[in-house]
Amino acid sequence: MTTKPLVTISYWAYPLNDGKMIDLEGIDDFESELSKNFNLFISGKPSDALGGGLYEMIMTVYHNENIHDLIVFGSGMVSEAAKDIIKDTVKEVLVKYIANPIKDAFSIIKERDKDKEPDIDQINIKFKDIDISIYNVHVDGIAKNINIIMDVLSSRVQSFILDNQLPYQIFIPIFKDREAESQDWKQKPVFRTLQKIDEPIQNVTSDAYFDYWGLFYTTQEDQFKAYNVRTYEMTNIDFTMPETGSY
């Protein structure tokens, strides 16, 4: 790749009385490893609360390419400047150039800062034509599964195309909202991402990453679709947009 994607990383840390914070011991080595593949902006700040959420990172990857162009490479629809990046296929862009470097770098912090229990709360990947948001569903959910999620995503992305258009946003994973569905006025299944507080859906495992994904299309009359990862089927749905922390 000729140009490194930009990655921004933010997290809250344990505060000290002087306005400083107890940072991650492995943060410098983490940054050094990650900088081999990305330009970085890392922001750790002292928390004003001592509840949950400390050392849980939100990462956003800005990638200056179009996923649609990656799919149609070889058909004459791709710019010459992009060919050095997309020639290795969608899978290599998502897995080799994004997922694997993040997983390898984060393993440094997991080993060096076990006492702080660092985690990845969310990863957003922003291409020119599509935004992908991956949410943590249990401890180390993203950290352990990011490369597998990206591998599956790369094998499914062509099946997302409707009327020659990809979805504008992808949410991974989504869950049926049984409580909302019980309301009589609801005409379609209701899906959402997990809530940060008072979540009634319990005992979620990594299997959830490969059940349903949310697809948002700007060009379809029914804009929100639930994509069944196992069957490739789409269902028109009502969708509750995620809370602050993603978009």
The rounded distance, in Å, linking the Cα atoms of 97 and 157 is 17
Closest residue by Cα to residue 124 from 160, 152, 98: 98
Residues facing residue 171 across a β-bridge: 133, 214
The answer to the question of residue 90 being in a domain is yes
The answer to the question of residue 220 being in a domain is no
The rounded distance, in Å, linking the Cα atoms of 172 and 214 is 7
The answer to the question of residue 228 being in a domain is no
Percent pLDDT > 70 in the chain is 86
Instruction: Tell me what the mean pLDDT of segment 172-176 comes to.
Output: 96
The per-residue pLDDT for 181 is 60
Percent pLDDT > 90 in the chain is 63
Cα 183 to the center of its chain, rounded Å:
30
The answer to the question of residue 62 being in a domain is yes
The rounded distance, in Å, linking the Cα atoms of 39 and 57 is 17
The answer to the question of residue 10 being in a domain is yes
Closest residue by Cα to residue 210 from 139, 134, 140: 134
The rounded distance, in Å, linking the Cα atoms of 134 and 234 is 19
Which tens digit of pLDDT belongs to each residue from 22-65? 999 999 999 999 999 999 999 999 998 766 789 999 999 999 88
Closest residue by Cα to residue 102 from 203, 31, 4: 31
The answer to the question of residue 12 being in a domain is yes
Count how many domains the chain has.
1
The answer to the question of residue 20 being in a domain is yes
The answer to the question of residue 167 being in a domain is yes
Could you list the residue range(s) of the whole structural domain that residue 76 is in?
A: 6-176
Residue 134 contacts residue 42 (beta carbons within 8 Å): no
Query: Does the pLDDT at position 83 exceed 60?
Result: no
Positive or negative, the CA dihedral 20, 22, 26, 27 is negative
Comparing 247 with 152, the larger pLDDT belongs to: 152
Amino acid in position 173? P
Comparing 107 with 82, the larger pLDDT belongs to: 107
Which tens digit of pLDDT belongs to each residue from 184-232? 555 788 999 998 888 888 899 999 999 999 999 988 788 999 999 999 9
